[in-house]
Every structure is written in structure tokens, then in C-alpha cells.
Amino acid sequence: MTNNVISWQRGNASALQAQEWVVRIDSGRLTAQERQDLQAWLAEDPAHAKLLDTHALLWCESARAKFPPIASGSVHPVKPKGQSFTAGMGGPAHTWLHGTKSWCLAGLLALGMAFVFWGTPIRGLVDSPGAPRDLPKSITTDIGRHLEVPLADGSLVHLNTASSIQVAYSKERRRVVLDKGEGLFDVAKDAQRPFDVVAGTTTVRAIGTRFSVLRLPDGRTDVTVFEGVVEILKGQTAGTEQPLRLGAGQTVTAQADKIVLQQLARPALENKLAWREDRIIFDSVSLGEAIAQVNRYSPVPLRIMEPQLMDLRVSGAFSTADVPVFVRSLEQGFGLHVERTTEAYSISKASAQ
């Protein structure tokens, strides 16, 4: 009979920790603090990454194993998925292995991607003495694509379509330059190293919070805070003037000469993040603004041919992956005429019949 029970070496603290990390990763997305703890553990010893990889593979193998029925009275309890616990060595069956079903399909891939970005030390995007020089310092997304990337300190950046950032970390600072597009930043707390996002002449400074920054084609910068507090600094020196403090639920649109502050209701905040689910939602916005947003997701630009159409109000939810549906809604819902050429969608009033 094939032995489907995987035995573990007893008394190896690092192996036990690797097992626990595999279970915690399988139970769901790690928090920012857990990511930071995992990175610290990996950085303690080069062997930890190999241990984690080895136990992840064993975890996958256990999912494929077929276990014989367990005799009555010999059942070892298994923690429900989603609950955290310390993986121990008690019991011959080591039942911490038996709860997984789909982790091999998704979790192992995610863990492998984490190694690509984290590395040693956690393969973060680091700019400091002694850091490897062959690591990427910039990240870019194509039109219609978005990407979530873990940074060296446990922070996360989720880049929207057609976006580009440059990352420079040192012992004194954490700095990200948003060259174009939009990023959602989930910042790990570090009181000694503020986290700066630079977008043109606007700098957004945080210690530990969650906010988005969008660079618009006309030069404006849109900043929205979802958790915590950030500071908005204007000018290339980013420190010569009193900063504007922005709290959760607030958004600003910064231009060269002014800043417009708004308080958003929860639905409006949620709409701002609809792109993470490949959607875009308009709530009585001008056609000009709607076209500007849709163009960020379309390889073929939309152009308004008649200025009087710019202020037409638009509402609705659309898929960012299917721009033609939005185009058809302009024709069917608003009675506009859209002509497709090799270069653009041209939008104008429908001809009188």
C-alpha cells in the first residue's frame, strides 16, 4: 500500500516556521504586517526561502494524495481554512497538510511571484549601497492591464492601465515616482522612513496608509485616501510650504496653481477602485471626462468632434476590456454617431433624418 502520509523532521524550528507560513499563505491574502514579517523571516537566513519553497511543494503534493478512511477514534482535528494557527508536529498524520484543495493552482504561483519580487533581501526594488544592480527599478503596465506588485518593505502597489513607476528605496527614505497612469498604494508602516509618491510637481507623503494617485493627461494629479492620513506637498522641493493633510474619504485634484478638495461618499470611493475588477463606473460625469477615462483603456482613442458634446452627462458601468460596448451605448443611448477609422473613434451628433 502506498504511504500517503508525509513525515517531517522533528525539532527543526525553521521547518516548522516554513510550514506555518505555507498554511498562513493558503488561508488567504496576507496583511501588510504579515508580508513584512514574512520578508523579515526570509531575510534572516538564505535557507528559509528554500525551506518555504520545499514545504509549498509538499503542501501541493498532499492535496493530490488519496488517504484511506480513518478509523473511528483516531481522528485528528484540522483547523478550518482561514483560521491562523501554529503548525505543530503532534499526531502521526500531521493533519495540517490535509486541508488544502486548490492552493497548488493559485497559491504556489503567487508564492513564486513573491520570490521574484522579494528575493534577498526579499528582492525588493532597493536603491542602497550593496543592493543588487540587476534588479528592475521601474514597473510598467500595458494598455488595458493592471498589476499588483509587492515592494521590499511589505508595501503593495497596484498599477492600473498604461501606468509606469520608478522605485528608489534607501535606509532613509521610500520613494516612488509615478511617471504616468495610476497606482493604488497600500503602505506598510515605518515611522522612520516616510513613503513618498511623486507625480509631477505633487508629492504625496504617508507613513502607513492606503491611497491612490492618478496623473491625468492634462497635467492634473488626483489623490484619494481610503485609509489613514497623507500629506500633499507642492513644488519640486516638496517641503518649502505647509503641507495639506488629507484624511480617509477625501480626494484632491492638484494643478500647478491650485488644489481642489472634496469629501467623497462611500459609493464614490468604491467607484474609484472599480478598475481592479476591470470595470469603469460613471455617475453623471461629462462626456469629455468619460472619454478621457475610457481612452486610458483603449488602444484606439475616442475623439469628440463637436465641442458642444463635451458637457453631455453620462452614467453607467462598463467593462474596461470591452470598449466597443461603451461606443455602442453612445450610439444607442445618446443618439450619437460614432465612426470608426484605423486611427480613432470619431464621435459627433447623429445626422438629421
* Burial of residue 219 (number of CB atoms within 10 Å: 0-12, 13-18, 19+): exposed
Whether the link from the prior residue into 46 is cis, omega within 30° of 0, is no
Neighbours of 166 (CB within 10 A): 17
* Burial of residue 286 (number of CB atoms within 10 Å: 0-12, 13-18, 19+): middle
Residue pair 118/150 in contact by the 8 Å Cβ criterion: yes
Residue pair 199/221 in contact by the 8 Å Cβ criterion: yes
Closest among 183, 192, 280 to 222, alpha carbons compared: 183
Averaged pLDDT of the chain: 75
pTM for this one? 0.62
Confidence check: pLDDT of 164 > 50 = yes
Do strands 345-349 and 302-304 pair parallel, antiparallel, or not at all (unpaired)? parallel
Residue pair 60/52 in contact by the 8 Å Cβ criterion: no
At 53, is the pLDDT very low, low, confident or very high (cuts 50, 70, 90)?
A: low
* Burial of residue 11 (number of CB atoms within 10 Å: 0-12, 13-18, 19+): exposed
Task: List strand residue ranges (DSSP E) for the chain, in order.
Answer: 138-140, 147-150, 156-159, 164-169, 174-186, 195-199, 202-206, 210-215, 221-227, 229-234, 244-247, 250-254, 259-263, 279-286, 302-304, 313-319, 336-340, 345-349
State pLDDT tens for residues 61-86: 555 454 455 444 444 443 333 333 33
State pLDDT tens for residues 116-139: 333 333 333 333 333 334 345 789
Domains within the chain, CATH numbers bracketed: 13-67+79-117 (no CATH), 138-268 (2.60.120.1440), 278-349 (3.55.50.30)
